[in-house]
Chains A and B, each alone.
Chain A
Amino acid sequence: MPWQRGTFKKIKQIPSEEHVFPGTALCAGCGGLEALRLAAKVLGDDVVYVNAAGCFTMLAAYPFTPFKGSWLYTTMGSAPAGAQGVRDALDVLIAKGRLAKDENLKVVVLGGDGSTYDMALSSTSGALYRGLDFYYFCYDNEAYGNTGMQRSPSTPYGARTATSPCSLQHPAGTMQEKKDIFEIWRAHTPPYIATVAPRYPLDLEEKFARAAKFTGPKMFLALSACPTGWLYDPGETPEVAKLAVETGLWPLKEAINGSVTHTYIPKRKPVEEYLKLQGRFRHLFEPARQDEAIQHIQERVDTYWKQVNG
């Protein structure tokens, strides 16, 4: 039986109230910020965001923040540990009667893929292992973005970045496959993991609503289509985000206590349609078409979905 949305069936059901306000220092067309804006419609304002170094660090730049909730910038490598400290302190203070129960907050880590896939992996693993009751929101733009697009372990094969340029030895640019952080998280069996994409708002809202029922780690991997780094016009973010899903490159799925469900089965357009939109893949098409590299990307996706569909 296909996955059913219980709460969010129509766009009209998405609350119109905003919790992340405009006017931040982030790039126009930031897919990660759009995903966060949608997520916050379910998370609300009683939130403390615990941030790791990355693009989103610029959300709170003195004296402004776009949130009605709270914010704590930590380090690049330990935002989940910061979440642990805040969560534990809130619990202790409430238990000791020093903080009223209605002052309680959700603790939400905001980290980019550089932090999430690399430096904060130990800290995240620790929080998962300890069963910390928190949300983890990774805005994944598949590179170290805030420093100007260097390769991260999330950068897909075939993408050109500032540190994985195209060369005679490596004509496709990045030669490594994207690290599967979803599966790394799932190996810890947290109660809830989901991937989301900003172009699929009902899927996204539903997942945050479902996650709210669980105590423990609630892990989100948000596709953050990135005009600045992926090299396309900011107005095309919805299209890029849509094609990431429709080509099957960005599967929408969730894992409840380790059990995986794909929440949307795309008809799967050729990956080429997605790749062609973005400057980071232009070298695969010109000056000479790199059929082998494009085929490799397509085959990886085909293999993935073959396993999914059985």
Chain B
Amino acid sequence: MAGEMMTGNLAAAWGARLAGVDYIPAFPITPQTEIVEALATWCESGAMAARFVTMDSEHSMMTAAGAAAATGARVFTATSSQGLLYAMEVLYSISGWRAPLVLVNVSRALAAPITLEPDHNDVLAARDSGFLQIHAETCQEVLDSILMAYRIAEDARVMLPVIVNLDGFYLSFTREPVILPAPEQVAQFLPPFRPAHLGFKASAPHALGVAVLGGTPYSYFRHQMHLAAMNALDVHSETAAAFERLFGRRYDVVEGYRLDDAEDVLVMTNAFASRGKVAVDAARAEGRRVGLLRLRMIRPWPADAIRDALRSRRAVAVLDQNLAPGQGGILFQEIAASLYGEPLRPRALCSFIGGLGGKNLSEGEFRAIFDQTAEAGVRGKGIGPILLYTEAEHREMTQLQALAGGLNS
């Protein structure tokens, strides 16, 4: 494969650079920092015609980002984990302002206990914020998704901000070949940002984010956000077609892998889906009819595409790299809700929780998932949530506990 070797973080920075952004408010957090370091260097050298400002927190960073986008600038920023949650109230403000910026989130599990490695509780905490969400599997997809994200966000039918998500460490620090689109082609794909209804200027004053009195205006504006978010499904499909025409790479809201004759389907997201695909190949080699559905767009939720992919299957397993304590997997709930009204829904829906805090997903675990899902399909009764934890991991943890408790205790 052609292309330059680069990390997911550098690919994200290139996405912002090629999108010709005007403004980058930033704040460092592992594992996102390489993105803003690269952008700071390019802004300083003049390689990018953007203003780079280091803010005092992610909360301030997101406020500055949203305010600049509301003023009419094309804005990029990036964060991770605690930073995303620290900025959480601002996310709701930015979508309410209908300010179409792009935020890259480099997924990292949430404290406590504090860790640096990925899972998706951070980005999924923003699932109701009004930000659209695209989750990427490869470094190339990170870059391409950022370009697509600007076109979707800035579309007059949408005018909502977008989060592009990539996994910390596994993608952020992994080098893969990435083809850098030619700037002239990007210019063909992504029109300049000239919003019709945003911007503060002397000749056309306006008030944004104002208070409303009562539920009637509040509900109106919130309904508008929902309808605009749903418009993003069609806009994504137009954008994907335009992207493919220019760059030859195709991204849909979901990606099917060896689904054609699959009896049982494993649903995953993000970089660990690559491991899922390897596991599917291994199972296929043993004669099992399994496939994988990777969810790429999380908001708006592509319910039709999910139903089309999962209709008439024997069983479906959702592997959530997140955990809603006391509930289970977040995406499992959403998949289940989408399939309930489907007459030809799978006979069994199974929920697995794995990869929390970057925990490995082993071949054995995938085999167990396929086995248990097949059995559930035969029985016609779903299982879960199953908390994946291998015997080796349990032994390792027991040793750590012994150390933590003192060797003699």
Q: Which of A45, A77, A84 has the most CB of B within 10 A?
A: A84
Contact A85/B207 with A48-B200, A75-B89 known, Cβ cut-off 8 Å = no
Interface mask (A218-254 → B, CB under 8 Å = 1, otherwise 0): 0000000000000000000000000000000000000
The interface residues of chain A lying within 8 Å CB-to-CB of B71 are 85-86, 89-90, 93
Chain A, interface residues (CB within 8 Å), range: 35 or more
Which range holds the interface residue count of chain B? Answer: 35 or more
The answer to the question of B208 belonging to the interface, with a C-beta cut-off of 8 Å to chain A, is yes
Contact B51 A92 (CB under 8 A): yes
How far in angstroms is the closest Cβ of chain B from A104? 7
A98 contact set on B, CB distance < 8 A: 72, 194
Hey, what's the 0/1 contact readout for A32-47 against B, CB within 8 Å counting as 1?
Answer: 0000000000000110
Residue contact A85 to B217, C-beta cutoff 8 Å: no
Contact mask for chain A residues 66-78; partner B; CB cutoff 8 A; 1 contact, 0 none: 0111111111011
Contact B202 A82, beta carbon cutoff 8 Å: no
Known: A122-B60, A126-B55. A83 touches B67 (CB 8 A): yes
* B-side contacts of A69, CB under 8 Å: 205
Contact across chains for B67 and A57 when beta carbons are under 8 A apart: no
Known: A68-B205, A74-B93. A89 touches B73 (CB 8 A): yes
- Residues on B with C-beta less than 8 A from A67 are 205, 207
Contacting pair B202 A105 (CB below 8 A): yes
Cβ-defined contact, A105 with B200, below 8 A? yes
- A215 to B: closest C-beta gap in Å: 16
A278 within 8 A of B: no
B201/A99 in contact, CB under 8 A: yes
Q: Could you jot down 13 A-B contacts, CB within 8 Å?
A: A45-B205, A67-B205, A71-B206, A71-B207, A71-B210, A75-B59, A78-B90, A82-B66, A85-B71, A86-B70, A89-B69, A122-B56, A123-B59
10 smallest A-B Cβ distances: which pairs?
Answer: A85-B67, A126-B56, A81-B60, A89-B71, A85-B64, A73-B209, A71-B207, A85-B68, A89-B68, A103-B201
In the complex, which residues of chain A have a beta carbon less than 8 angstroms from the beta carbon of B51?
A: 88, 91-92
User: Given the known A-B contacts A89-B73, A99-B201, A122-B60, are A62 and B55 also in contact in the complex, defined by CB atoms under 8 Å?
Assistant: no
A102 interface contact, C-beta 8 A: yes
Q: Does A10 sit within 8 A of B, measured CB to CB?
A: no
Nearest chain B CB to A93 CB, angstrom units: 6
Are A92 and B23 in touch, CB under 8 angstroms? yes
Contacts of B9 in A (CB 8 A): none
Taking the closest CB of chain A, its distance from the CB of B293, in whole angstroms, is: 38
Residue in B closest to A94 when the chains form the complex, CB atoms: B201
B79 to chain A, nearest CB (A): 14
In contact, A126 and B60 (Cβ under 8 angstroms): yes
Answer whether residue B65 sits at the interface, using C-beta atoms and an 8 A cutoff: yes
Q: Which residues in window 153-203 of A have CB below 8 A to B?
A: none
Residue among A89, A91, A93 making CB contact with B67, cutoff 8 Å:
A89
B53 at the interface (CB under 8 A from A): yes
Known: A68-B205, A70-B207, A71-B208. A93 touches B56 (CB 8 A): no
B184 to chain A, nearest CB (A): 19
Shortest distance in angstroms between A49's beta carbon and chain B's nearest beta carbon? 9
A83 to B25: give the CA distance in the assembly, Å.
12
Q: A122 vs B199: C-alpha distance in the bound complex, in angstroms?
A: 27
B56 x A81 contact (CB < 8 A): yes
CB–CB B212/A61 < 8 A: yes
List residues of A whose CB falls within 8 A of some B CB: 45-46, 48, 50, 57-58, 60-62, 65, 67-75, 77-86, 88-93, 96, 98-99, 102-105, 122-123, 125-126, 129-130
- Inter-chain CA distance A71–B206, complex, in Å, is 6
The residues of B that contact A72 with a CB separation of less than 8 Å are 67, 70, 97, 200, 207-209
- Asked whether B61 is an interface residue with its Cβ less than 8 Å from the other chain, the reply is yes
Question: Known interface pairs A81-B64, A86-B67. Does A60 touch B200 (Cβ–Cβ under 8 Å)?
Answer: no
B57 at the interface (CB under 8 A from A): yes
**How far is B67's CA from A89's CA once the two chains are assembled, in angstroms?**
8
Q: Mark B210-247, 1 if CB is under 8 A from A, else 0.
A: 11110001000000000000000000000000000000
Distance of B84 from chain A, by nearest CB (Å)? 15
Nearest-neighbour CB distance to chain B for A252, whole angstroms, equals 30
**Which of A65, A86, A93 contacts B22 (CB under 8 A)?**
A93
Contact B59 A77 (CB under 8 A): yes
| A contact residues around B67 at 8 Å (CB) | 50, 72, 74, 81-86, 89
Partner of B211, one of A60, A96, A104, A105: A60
A93 to B68, CA, bound (A): 10
Q: Which residues of A contact B73 (CB under 8 A)?
A: 88-89, 92-93
A71-B208, A71-B210, A93-B71 known; A78+B60 contact, CB < 8 A: yes
Bound Cα distance from A104 to B56, whole angstroms:
26
Please name the residue on chain A nearest to B205 by beta carbon. A70
Q: Which residue of chain A has the shortest Cβ distance to B92 in the bound complex?
A: A75
Shortest Cβ gap from A48 to chain B (Å): 5
Question: A86 — which chain B residues lie within 8 A by C-beta?
Answer: 67-68, 70-71, 200
Contact (A75, B22) CB under 8 Å given A92-B73, A93-B73, A98-B72? no
**Interface residue? B409 (CB, 8 A):** no
User: Please, which residues of chain A bring their CB within 8 A of the CB of B89?
Assistant: 75
Taken together as a complex, chains A and B put the C-alpha atoms of A289 and B184 apart, in Å, by 80
Interchain CA distance A45-B202 in the complex, whole Å: 8
> Does B107 sit within 8 A of A, measured CB to CB?
no
On whether the beta carbons of A99 and B64 are closer than 8 Å, the reply is no
Contact check, B205 vs A84: say whether CB atoms are below 8 A apart: no
Nearest CB on A from B13, distance (A): 19
Taking the complex as formed, is B397 at the interface, i.e. its CB lies under 8 A from any CB of chain A?
no
Q: Is the CB of A84 within 8 A of B53?
A: yes
CB proximity of A101 to chain B, nearest CB, Å: 10
Would you call A62 and B210 a contact (CB within 8 A)? yes
Indicate if the CB atoms of B57 and A123 lie closer than 8 Å: yes
A88 touches B201 (CB 8 A): no
CB distance from A285 to the nearest CB of B (A): 38
B72 touches A93 (CB 8 A): yes
Contacts of B97 in A (CB 8 A): 72
Q: A62-B217, A85-B68, A105-B200 are in contact. Are A75 and B55 (CB under 8 A)?
A: no
